[in-house]
Amino acid sequence: MSAQLPESPEDEQLLDNLASTIGTQARAARMRLLLTQADVAQKVGLVPAVYGRLERGRMLPSVRTLHRLATALGTSPDSLMGHPFRPEPPADSPSVRLLVQQVRRLHPRRVKAVLHLVLSMR
């Protein structure tokens, strides 16, 4: 599979910005972990000079390298690309889902009564 070249100046600018963001985020994560560029390069399987170019925003990593980099730095690929990690909220239990379904069917006056009952149980 070969890489495609940007098709427009806007695409090229977008890729340049992404490379810069990944580099900045990688550098910040590396420094938080008190690692050297050589340490991270070794963990990721890159030559230190190549990792240095990546961290300076001079190159984009492959998807595989981005994943290895995120793992080495204890972060997510999303975070390296400038998107904060948002964990999924915990799923409601079956009992809570059933309760919500039943309350949705009630008249507003009864919903108020159920709310009052629940609040009094705290």
Give per-residue pLDDT as tens, 71-99: 999 999 999 999 876 777 788 898 999 98
Position 1 confidence tier, pLDDT thresholds 50, 70, 90: very low
Using the predicted structure, report yes or no on whether residue 6 has a pLDDT greater than 60: no
Structure tokens, 106: 């009630």
Location of each CATH 1.10.260.40 domain in the chain: 9-80
CATH 1.10.260.40 holds for 9-80? yes
Q: What is the pLDDT of residue 79?
A: 93
Residue whose entry in the numeric block shows the structure tokens 């995120």: 70
Using CA atoms, how far residue 16 sits from 60, 62, 100, 115, 119, in Å, is 8, 14, 48, 53, 54
For the CA atoms of 93, 98, 104, 107, the dihedral, rounded to the nearest 10 degrees, stands at -130
